[in-house]
A and B are shown apart, each in its own frame.
Chain A
Amino acid sequence: MSEMWINMGPQHPMTHGLWNLRVRIEGELIRDVDPEMGYLHRGIEKISEDRHYNEVITLMDRCCYVAGLAWEHLYIRAAEQALHVDPPERAEYLRVLCDEFQRLGSHLMWYAAFVQDLGLMSPFLYGMRDRDLVLDLFQSYTGARMTYEYMRVGGVRNDLPPGFTASARKVLDWLSDRFREYDQLCLGSTIFRKRCDGLGVLKGPDAVHHGVTGPMLRSAGVKRDLRKDRPYAVYGQLDFDVAFADGADVTARYLVRMEEMRQSVRLLRQVLDWLDRHPGPVIAEHLPRWLGAPYAPIGLEGYLLKRNYPKGVGFSAVEEPHGEALAYVVNEGGEHPYRVKFRSPVFANLSAARTYLVGYHVADIPPIMGSVDVCVGEVDR
């Protein structure tokens, strides 16, 4: 058959979000791909220039619907550096708690979507079911299931409710059992292995070259994890291993993500133990309260410029569930950030699509793109 272009998206079951993968196929073979982004572009970076520092947090949750807290953490760290604010230690632990639970939630969501792409129907619901418990935990202390708005410049909004750590430990126990079940359903299936082995290969040097990060990079044997290499928050004080694999294919990415979930459970147990033992304030005491709610005289233009607040530039790097996320916040002394720039890991992972898609079959696109774990909200921002 002669070659033809097909549009996989923006409304397509494979895309998991609004984007368009244009594929040039010859028969069932992929000859070329061209991802088209921008269907979900909301101009978050632009809107941020028009908002107070704390109000930007509401946008961060909309960056990625499965990793809202990780994005909040990312932005907050940059904003704190730009505004010269230091959070208390308990807030840092709470943020790590958020981050790791978010990683669990995000990877469970990824698992569900990924197996769904392969046609596995029941594990899809198992993944969603177990993610719901993580969302329950989020709801119990942030007050929302997806758009958390939990972190604040200088700390977090509120402390954990009583009894939270006990519930969280139960959820962790339950999840640890489920991981075995997931492996039986996926790795234990010949068809799964035949579908995933040797698929979407992106070797380590290529991955580094194309800016690919996160589980995709670690599945190629490159042990780069910002939590280990450049410990932020309190990751330096916690004990965990970097999950990695050598296969550089879809199966390897599956293995890396499953191992990351296990490591997250391990991290979370340490964090919960620490939180049990160390009560304390969760928001910085000497905090300029014009920063936003509560009791903020915000909305009055030019107020901060009169106060000569020190300028600054903030930069933060966070290992988001999808990979390396960066934020760059420029504070020019106003009550709004002058410029906010984010680096989305999926953005770079998608930009390398040609390297890991060309040469495979049309039927391989869903598992490969599933193993990339596309979250369009943070690509388009």
Chain B
Amino acid sequence: MQPADLEQALRPRLGEHLLGVEPFEGTAGKVRFDRSAAVATFRALHDELGFTHLAMIGGIDWVAHREVVYTLWSDAAKQYVFLSTTVPADDAHVESASGVWPSANWHEREAWEMVDITFDHHPDLRHLLMPDGYAFHPLLRSFKLHEPEELEVKVRHV
């Protein structure tokens, strides 16, 4: 599958929400989409193109905006594809993919606590690796290493 194929398959379903398909070495391409059409994009890739395996969701902080990169795998095409959407830093939220791929659950929890990207309609958006009540987002560029920080940890009793 080539970037052109992807564009051809996705354009009718997404229209202008598809911002472009860039080639990416070693994958079928990097699909850039508008976050308002997130679920439609997920559905299109999952149902139509057979990308049934969501491998990874990573957030990148580009200071001015943040990028969410989804890595998908298709068993039929035996190829990876990247989905990418950008969100502004002051309004960082995107629709959750966990309705389409259940495996998104933990990846989104991690992206939320690390890069501060909120995933709407996520079933269980709470801290995964960091302690509950942790007020920082460590993988933001503004979070500097070697700086003392105040850490307040709430202990949960069961």
Question: How close is A236's CB to chain B, nearest CB, in angstroms?
Answer: 13
Stretch at the interface among B20-28, B34-42, B87-95: B20-28
Produce 1/0 per residue, B130-146, CB < 8 A to A: 11000000110001010
In the bound complex, do residue A326 and residue B71 qualify as a contact, i.e. CB atoms below 8 Å apart? yes
B56 to A22, Cβ gap below 8 A? no
Q: Scan residues 82-116 of chain B and give those whose CB is less than 8 A from a CB of chain A.
A: 82, 101-103, 105-107, 114
Contacts of B24 in A (CB 8 A): 313, 315
Are A38 and B158 interface neighbours, CB within 8 A?
no
A107 to chain B, nearest CB (A): 22
Smallest CB gap from A209: residue in B: B102
Q: Chain A: which residue is nearest B113 at the CB level?
A: A38
**CB of A230 within 8 A of chain B?**
yes
Would B145 and A47 count as touching, CB distance under 8 A? yes
Instruction: Please pick, from A326, A341, A351, the residue contacting B105 in the complex, using a CB distance under 8 A.
Output: A351
Q: Find out whether the CB atom of A45 lies under 8 angstroms from the CB atom of B139.
A: yes
Interface residues of A in 202-255 (CB under 8 A from B): 208-213, 222, 224, 229-230
Closest residue to A312 on the B side, CB-wise?
B25
Chain A interface mostly helix, strand, loop or mixed? mixed
Number of A residues, CB within 8 Å of B: 41
Query: Do A211 and B103 contact each other (CB < 8 Å), given the known contacts A50-B145, A81-B26, A343-B71?
Result: yes
Q: In the bound complex, how far is the Cα of B105 from the Cα of A313, in angstroms?
A: 25
CA distance A41 to B153 in the complex (A): 15
Chain B, interface size category, equals 35 or more
B14 proximal to A (CB < 8 A): no
Q: Which of A47, A210, A326 is the one whose CB lies under 8 Å from B56?
A: A326
Q: With A41-B129, A230-B79, A328-B71 in contact, is A209–B60 under 8 Å at CB? A: no
Q: Which of A50, A211, A328 contacts B58 (CB 8 A)?
A: A328
Distance A68 CA – B86 CA, assembled complex (angstroms): 33
Contact between chains at A330 and B60 (CB < 8 Å): yes
The interface residues of chain A lying within 8 Å CB-to-CB of B69 are 328, 341
Q: Are B106 and A224 interface neighbours, CB within 8 A?
A: no
Whether A210 pairs with B103 at a CB distance below 8 angstroms is: yes
- Check if A347 is an interface residue, CB within 8 A of chain B: yes
A124 to chain B, nearest CB (A): 30
Q: How far apart are the CA atoms of A230 and B80 in the complex, in Å? A: 9
Chain A nearest CB: distance from B94 CB in Å? 16
Question: Smallest CB-CB separation from A42: which chain B residue?
Answer: B129
**Pairwise interchain contact A22-B53, C-beta atoms closer than 8 A:** no
Is A164 an interface residue when CB atoms closer than 8 A count as contact?
no
Judge if A7 is at the interface, Cβ distance under 8 Å: yes
Among A1-60, those with CB < 8 Å from B are 5, 7, 22, 37-38, 41, 43, 45-47, 50
* 7 pairs from A and B in contact (CB 8 Å cutoff): A41-B129, A222-B75, A224-B75, A313-B24, A326-B55, A339-B58, A343-B55
- Residue positions of A touching B, CB distance < 8 A: 5, 7, 22, 37-38, 41, 43, 45-47, 50, 81, 208-213, 222, 224, 229-230, 313, 315-317, 324, 326, 328, 330, 338-339, 341, 343, 347-348, 350-352, 380-381
